[in-house]
Amino acid sequence: MLTNHLKTLTFTRHYLGSLILIHSISCLLTVAQSTVDPYLWLEDVEGEKQLEWVNSQNEKTLGYITTIDGYQERYDFSYKVLTSEDKLPYPDMHGDYIYNIWQDEENARGLWRRIPFKDYLERNDNWEIVIDIDELCETENTNWAYDRTYFIPGNNKHCAIQLSKGGSDAAVIREFDLEKREFVEDGFFVDEAKSSFEWIDENTVYIATNFGDGSLTNSGYPRIVKKWKRGTPITEAKTVLEVPKEDMAAGMAVLHTPDKKHELLFHSKNFYDITVFYIQEDKTIELNLPKNFNFELFKDKIIVQPLVDWQFGKNLIEKGIVIAMEIDSLLNQKNNYQVLLDNKPGISVESIHVTSECVLINTLNNIKSELLKFRYKDGAWIKQLVDLPKNGLVEIVDVDRRQESYFITYESFVQSTTIYVDKEDGTSPVKLMSLPDYFETGDLEVRQHWVSSRDSTLIPYFIIHKKDLEYNGNNPLIQYGYGGFRISETPYYSGSRGKFWLENGGVYVIANIRGGGEFGPDWHLAAIKENKQKSYDDFIAVTEDLIARKITSREKIGIYGGSNGGLLVGAVMVQRPDLYKAVACFVPLLDMQRYSKLLAGNSWMAEYGNPDIPEEWEYISKYSPYHNVKAGEKYPEVLFLTSTRDDRVHPGHARKMTAKMEEMGYNVYLFENTEGGHAASYTPEQRAKVSSMYYSFFSDQLMKK
């Protein structure tokens, strides 16, 4: 490898006497050191030498973490919760059945099972096993992880099951017979890849996958969509869309409403620039939609929320609002639409869903959920606020365009997750089941504060702690953030957070920084590319406010983030080491010079910029944690967590940062799980270990007297 070559050159320079040779080698070494990463070898994910290094890091980390006082109790509690019969069986509707994947102590990989719809509503327990994933793993000698099911609308006989090895994004897709409960021999089969799959009918599918050389984009996603008929080899499938390899991906959707089937193709130029094609009588028609949008189809109407200002005919439709129009109006460029939801300060749209009878728009009002239901009657839309608890998080967990009923969850920082069903019968949603209360909430309080960031923008944050907390600057505190990809951080219930942290006097903070979606498209767009530093400024401003209020102090603050949030905590750690005592950095991006060359990283350049363009590397280089970490600083203690099977964010980020900081003399910890994908865990045992690891780490770092 080049690293070994450089070591040889260095040795030669010291021991050979030729001045010419020394001069030549010195010049070569200087150039190489300016362009070559000495820890590049750690990007070889499954190399023998690399995994030996990972194992040594794991041994060191576990040797520390598992000896922390209370680790075993935390693990036992987490494992008991994750394998308990009291878990919520989240629904997946199809036909007359509710399907569910269930993991417990005896079924670590899971049981894919089903129950009649009526019995689910009545809380009966007559589940029937469709696939025993653990048994399948043993039979096929593969650590399968269940991903999802592709049902055929209106067909209760066959479906397709997506399974991945160890929880990675790349997966296989296998046709399954629901009546015989076995995989279909000679049925539709897609080999391991990051694929998209859609049923057109029981004998025809759209498939976007790795078709061989040249069929993937630079991001590692399919660039070709094909129509594939049963009984024919995939090599004979007909190409219906092909996009340049420099773009992000090609994809498709088949949306089945009660009366019609709508076939769509997608050309994703990047994460936020998407062209949609509508297939009508074998003609492919480009839809006049904004390049960045949310949308759904409801009967003969399309529901659109533009995320950029949209010139539609003679009208400029402002980003963030939600409109409805006839599909034919869009196809024929007719300038007529109705506004369902206007822009209002503090309100943003989280998601749009449809049932057979209504449009559901899930919104945030000052980062608290409100679910709106719209019915179309006599040419007008009738709006209704769905009657659910306030000041928490509402999520639509299952909905079907062909059915009236849909399922919702509600939770908050102090209210355990509850599943509701709305039957569309004019009554309020009906509460079905709730998680147990895993910690005492009566003595807790939740507040929302606002602080002025570096550019004077007001940034909100939630803080949860005991009511009698004394503001003396001595309270252990975990601050969490994300700040990217228009993802909102909302109030949610966590048994481990309550049991391990809040009950023991800890304080928990969620910073709602820019880059997220908490206040609509502008909140996200304010902190991308050349403005990404604003996310970090916002997070730092929250920390400084917590210290100024004497809630905590530098020796008591730990910060936590994953994925883009791992980049966040890595960046603020190296920018402001004076503010933090401990950092838990989960499946992170850290090397922002090479991120676009690793796995799916190329697809995120619309968020961060292109480091190969000098002008863009100029601003990226200023916050890239890997390039800004320095020797001789007083950095916080760091725990990195990643996964060998994470094929979204490369484990090399965490590996290389660990190696670099160690060589600088810092004491850092790395734990790399052998599977789990981007979640870094899959089985209850793995999830319990990860949860107990970082709460034990923060306990040891922040709660010791």
Measure the CA–CA gap between 698 and 638, rounded to whole angstroms: 10
DSSP 175: E
Measure the CA–CA gap between 429 and 405, rounded to whole angstroms: 10
Query: What's phi and psi for 143, nearest 5 deg?
Result: -80, 75
Measure the CA–CA gap between 463 and 451, rounded to whole angstroms: 13
Measure the CA–CA gap between 407 and 121, rounded to whole angstroms: 11
Tell me the angle at which helices 652-663 and 48-65 cross, rounded to the nearest 10 degrees: 70
Residue 687 host element (H or E)? helix 684-702
Q: Which tokens is 19 given? A: 């001045």
- Backbone region of residue 320 per phi and psi (left: phi > 0; alpha: psi in -120 to 50; beta: other values): left
The residue count for the chain: 705
Measure the CA–CA gap between 252 and 196, rounded to whole angstroms: 8
Q: By three-state DSSP, how is residue 124 classified? A: coil
The angle formed by the CA atoms of residues 347, 348 and 354, to the nearest 5 degrees, is 120
Q: 128-132 and 111-116 as β-strands: parallel, antiparallel, unpaired?
A: antiparallel
Query: What's phi and psi for 212, nearest 5 deg?
Result: 120, -170
Q: Which tokens is 700 given? A: 């040891």
Residue 612: how many other CB atoms lie within 10 Å: 11
Measure the CA–CA gap between 220 and 603, rounded to whole angstroms: 9
CB 539 within 8 A of CB 483: yes
Q: What share of the chain is helix, strand, coil (3-state, %, to 5)?
A: 30, 35, 40
Q: By three-state DSSP, how is residue 214 classified? A: coil
In 590-699, the DSSP E strands lie at: 637-643, 668-673
CB 3 within 8 A of CB 41: yes
Measure the CA–CA gap between 87 and 441, rounded to whole angstroms: 19
Q: 477-480 and 557-562 as β-strands: parallel, antiparallel, unpaired?
A: parallel
Find the DSSP H helices in 517-676.
521-525, 533-548, 564-575, 605-608, 614-620, 625-628, 652-663
Residue 156 host element (H or E)? strand 155-165
Tell me the angle at which helices 652-663 and 564-575 cross, rounded to the nearest 10 degrees: 20
Helices vs strands, H then E, count in the chain = 16, 39
Measure the CA–CA gap between 11 and 483, rounded to whole angstroms: 46
Q: Which whole-number Å values give the CA distances from 668 to 60, 631, 661, in the listed order?
A: 10, 13, 7
Q: Is 256 a catalytic residue?
A: no
Q: Which whole-number Å values give the CA distances from 241 to 207, 223, 531, in the listed order?
A: 11, 8, 34
> Which one from 434, 596, 678, 691 is the annotated catalytic residue?
678
Give Cβ neighbours of residue 256 (< 8 Å, ≥ 6 apart).
Answer: 153, 154, 262, 401, 402
Q: Is 678 a catalytic residue?
A: yes
> Which one from 453, 494, 496, 563 is the annotated catalytic residue?
563
CB 540 within 8 A of CB 563: no
Measure the CA–CA gap between 408 and 387, rounded to whole angstroms: 12
Q: 144-152 and 128-132 as β-strands: parallel, antiparallel, unpaired?
A: unpaired
CB 216 within 8 A of CB 210: yes
Active site residues: 563, 678
